[in-house]
Structure formats: C-alpha cells, structure tokens
Structure 1
Amino acid sequence: MTTTVRYLVMAMRRPGFDAAVIAPHRAFLEELRTRGLLDMAGGFADGSGGAYVLRNIESLAQAQAIVATDPLVLQGASDLTVRAWHVH
C-alpha cells in the first residue's frame, strides 16, 4: 500500500467571526488550487469552521508557512491547525 503525505488544515471560527473574511479566504484557496497545492476544501455543516487539504508540499513547516498567509489567520478570524496526514 502506498502512503502519501497531505496536510490537513482545520479552521475553527473564533467568537465574533466576521463573514467578510470568507471572500478573501476563498480567493486564497482558489490561488492554491491554481498552483496545484489544494486537494479539497469545505465548510463544516454546523457552521463552526471548515477544513482544507494541501498537497505537493515538502514539509510541515512549508504547509504552516502557507497557512500563515490565509486571510483567516491574517485577520484573526479563525484558529487554524495544520496536521501531516498519511493518506492511503
């Protein structure tokens, strides 16, 4: 069985979340998709946040550096956690 490393990014909304950050966040994700770095993304059904999966990333440190530029982080709207994920 082949194992591939992806990076799972969990984004949990902070109290006082401003929905105005959603459009810049989606543009950020679209840029990642265009660069071949985004595998999938979506919001949680309960509205508490969402997740996305990065691919073609060399290390956890690189994934964290990319996530640090997400408008959700830059505007302090959500808490983002990055996990290396072994996908089979």
Structure 2
Amino acid sequence: MNRYLILVMRRPHYDPAMVQPHKDFLEGLRAGGKLEMSGPFSDKSGGAYLLFAENFDEALRIAHSDPAHTSGGWDITVYEWQAR
C-alpha cells in the first residue's frame, strides 16, 4: 500500500451542509483501514487526509468519491506521499 496526501480546499461557495457527509466519508475510510489520519486547517480554509491505496488511480477514485468533491464545494488535490 502507498500513502496519498489528499488536500481538500474550500471554495468560496462551498455548502456547509456537506461538512458532515465529508466527515462521515472519512470515518468510513478509517473504519475500512484506508485512512491513516485527517484534520482541518486552523484557518478553516480546508484540510487534508492521508489515505492508503494500491496506486494513484485508486487514490484518485476514492478522493473523487468524497462528498467534498462531488458537491463541487472543495478543490481536491491528490499527491503520492513518500513520508517516513
């Protein structure tokens, strides 16, 4: 498994009602062993999560199924992260 850093940055028109579905999505990933850690940025601009996936395509597929992405209210960027 590889690690992928997912940056989730709020757009000006994001829907606050989508925050809870996003959190629920992350909890589902955590329960499934796909999420190492997650959290918001202190300035409320967005957040990040560290995802386990077999490859970049899988990480992108997972990140693009996040309600933060599907709602159109956040910009999602995926990086393969070779953290130690």
TM-score using structure 2 length: 0.95
- Distance in structure 2 (CA, Å) of the matches to 1:87 and 1:11: 19
Q: Size of the alignment, in residue pairs?
A: 84
**42, 60, 64: which one aligns with 2:60:** 64
Residue 18 of structure 2 aligns with which residue?
21
TM-score using structure 1 length: 0.91
> Which contiguous aligned blocks of 4+ residues in structure 1 show a shift greater than 4 angstroms?
none
- 1:25 Cα deviation (Å)? 0.3
Report if the CA contact (8 A) 2:2-2:55 is conserved.
no
Give the match's secondary structure for 2:82.
strand
Residue 47 of structure 1 aligns with which residue?
44
Q: Which runs of 5+ in 1 are unaligned?
A: none
**64, 71, 75: which one aligns with 1:75:** 71
What is the alpha-carbon root mean square deviation over aligned residues? 1.1
What CA deviation, in whole Å up to 9, does each residue of 1:43-73 have, x standing for no partner? 0000100000002x11011000001100011
